[in-house]
Homo-oligomer: A and B are copies of this chain.
Amino acid sequence: MKPAHASKGAATREVIVARALEISAERGLDALTIGMLAEATGMSKSGVFAHFGSREDLQLAVLDGAAREFTEQVFVPALRERRGLPRLLAILERWMQRTLADGIRRACPIGAAAVEFDDRPGPVRERVLGYVLHLRREVARAVQIAIEQEHLQPGLDAHQLAFELHALMTAFVLELKLFGPEAAESRVRSSLARILGSLATPAAASPAH
């Protein structure tokens, strides 16, 4: 069992990260400062500073938090679905719902940081790259299982399709901000239906399979 002060420290850190996640979802990772977080949590700057050695450590913690949240909201619940196309569709559905919930005012801090830090080499950019690759690999794995289950055509390049699905979900974020949730959702659903429809095997449509 951890000593009480350590678990209290961990709980405080969690509160700070949760608040930091909200702020960077609304304003980007660059907007985040230790002073702003102190104000938002009602702590002193040195209090916040004690949990994060630097602004960069704080930014990395936000990226870790955002990735954990995505995994918990998208990938973990999709594991309850049948292996193959149903699980891939569940991932895409939950991803869409998450984007719709973010709406016009909020955005995934990892996606935002991919743009903000694209020309700034360093640990933040490395962490962003790592999470983008991780996301891409998880989607490719779901595609690969759907191929193995004979729900998607054999010979399909799983990583290439994962790139295309990621491109579509990224376009969804911008489409939503430009044209509103209804038009954007209709566009992305039609594209998913067209793309996956053209790649599905006849067996995928059969519920008995």
Binding site for B on A (CB under 8 A): 104-105, 114-115, 118-119, 128-129, 132, 157, 160, 163-164, 166-168, 170-171, 174-175, 177-179, 187, 190-191, 194-195, 198
Contacts and interface: CB of A to CB of B under 8 A. Distances in A.
Nearest to A157: B190
B174 A170 contact: yes
A187 B160 contact: yes
Nearest to A104: B119
A31 to B, nearest CB: 13
A174 B105 contact: no
Given A167-B170, A170-B171, A160 B191 contact: yes
B119 A174 contact: no
A142 B42 CA distance: 57
B163 A187 contact: yes
Contacts of A132: 178
A105 B177 CA distance: 24
Nearest to A186: B160
A118 B157 CA distance: 34
A63 to B, nearest CB: 14
